[in-house]
Amino acid sequence: MIPERQSNRKHLAKLIVLLAISIFLVSCETVSYYTQAARGQLAIVFGREDIQRLISDSDLSPELRSKFGEVMSIREFAENDLELPVANNYSTYVDVDREHVVWNVFAAPEFSTDPVNWCYPIAGCVAYRGYFSEAGALNYAMQLEEQGFDVYTGGVDAYSTLGWFEDSLLSTVMSRANYQLAGLIFHEMAHQIAYLPGDTTFNESFATAVEREGLRRWLEATDQAETIAVAETDRGRQQQFIDLVIGFRDQFDELYAEEMSEADKRREKFVLQGQLRSEYEQLKQSWGGYSGYDSWFSRSLNNAQLSTVSSYNDLVPFFDDLLSQAGHSLPAFYDEVIRIVALPEMDRDALLEKY
């Protein structure tokens, strides 16, 4: 393992490089944005505590000791059974002392569900702008609202640095069940294997395919048959939620394409938002009252919020087929995905078009 001071110096050098790139590529306002991002990531880097050291601390609560021990087991499984690039990822813990680690700002025009995109040197173009403080996110959201955009701000509990830094376990995810932590770790590590800048559907579908296969194998290996059923129920609810919102998003798109006054569109937009809430209540009843999405539906349901629920899993069937063709050998599967990422865009699109 790399000594902690040496590792921190390495991460600091990377942050300086990224900040320098931003200075030459973007405006003064965006340099300020990158500066807060660098400071936020630096705070995580220097706030890390070695998990094994924490486990041996007699003052550590039994609950945290148990959770840390489970994470160590998940890391071992990810490395040995899933052949994910574990290295020093998730071997450290950071208490960020806030509800979320990052707040993402989303924006869309008043009469369109197509989100505004922001482009970054490493990640490519994505439909959000992330801030390490809620105040910073809300301030930027206010600026966008003043420009007439529909705006939505949501907290994020974990993210991948795509291999640029060693990702840490964050306090924001510690309340999750063990199987959810395992899925999160498998998902985020998958982003370090293959990442196609600017293509969220490709990236998230690949990571989701790895997460699901990894979780299935982990639950079977640890003899958690009952948890498999719980995970399947969670996944089913999530898909029903996505299908509901995307179905209504299509109705909003049809509304905005109609020839009518802006006043009429605003009125019909409000009606559709009410119908979406009503159908969610019916869906919730079919779930026996499960309220996991209540917070989301308590918001405005504007175009920016609708744009956050995308068919990011559309290509999961493609990756499932790819894994099957690889004889369920994960290394062979990873190699094929890496090959596809390197293809010219036209060839890659031709390969994916039937999905």
Tell me the C-alpha distance between 232 and 237, whole Å: 9
Q: Using 50, 70 and 90 to split pLDDT, how confident is the model at 21?
A: very low
Tell me the C-alpha distance between 271 and 148, whole Å: 20
User: How much is the average pLDDT of 103-119?
Assistant: 95
Provide the percentage of residues in the chain whose pLDDT is more than 90.
80
Task: Please report the pLDDT score of residue 354 as a whole number.
Answer: 83
235-258 pLDDT tens trace: 999 999 999 999 999 999 999 999
183-225 pLDDT tens trace: 999 999 999 999 999 898 999 999 999 999 999 999 999 999 8
Residue with structure tokens 């990756």?
319
Token couple for 142: 């206010």
Please say if the pLDDT value at position 5 is more than 60: no
Task: Please report the pLDDT score of residue 2 as a whole number.
Answer: 45
Provide the percentage of residues in the chain whose pLDDT is more than 70.
92
How distant, in Å, are the alpha carbons of 98, 237, 283 from that of 306? 26, 17, 17
Please say if the pLDDT value at position 19 is more than 80: no
Q: Using 50, 70 and 90 to split pLDDT, how confident is the model at 29?
A: low
120-134, 228-242, 334-348: range with lowest mean pLDDT: 120-134
Tell me the C-alpha distance between 300 and 306, whole Å: 10
> Which tops the pLDDT comparison, 258 or 119?
258
Please say if the pLDDT value at position 269 is more than 60: yes
Tell me the C-alpha distance between 150 and 129, whole Å: 14
Using the 8-state DSSP alphabet, how is residue 167 labeled? -
Q: Which runs of consecutive H residues, i.e. helices, occur in 134-261?
A: 134-146, 178-193, 200-221, 225-257
Give the contacts of 254 (CB within 8 A, at least 6 positions apart). none
Token couple for 69: 């021990």
43-71 pLDDT tens trace: 999 999 999 999 999 999 999 999 999 99
- How crowded is residue 220: how many other Cβ atoms within 10 Å of its Cβ? 11
The DSSP bridge partners found for residue 104 are 130, 154
User: How much is the average pLDDT of 265-294?
Assistant: 97
Task: Please report the pLDDT score of residue 22 as a whole number.
Answer: 45
Token couple for 264: 């009429």
Tell me the C-alpha distance between 92 and 68, whole Å: 10
296-340 pLDDT tens trace: 999 999 999 999 998 788 899 999 999 999 999 999 999 999 999
Instruction: Report how many helices (DSSP H) and strands (DSSP E) the chain contains, helices first.
Output: 14, 8
Residues belonging to the chain: 355
Q: Are 341 and 192 in contact (CB under 8 A)?
A: no
Beta strands, E only, the chain:
49-50, 92-94, 102-108, 118-120, 124-126, 129-131, 150-156, 169-170
Q: Using 50, 70 and 90 to split pLDDT, how confident is the model at 147?
A: very high
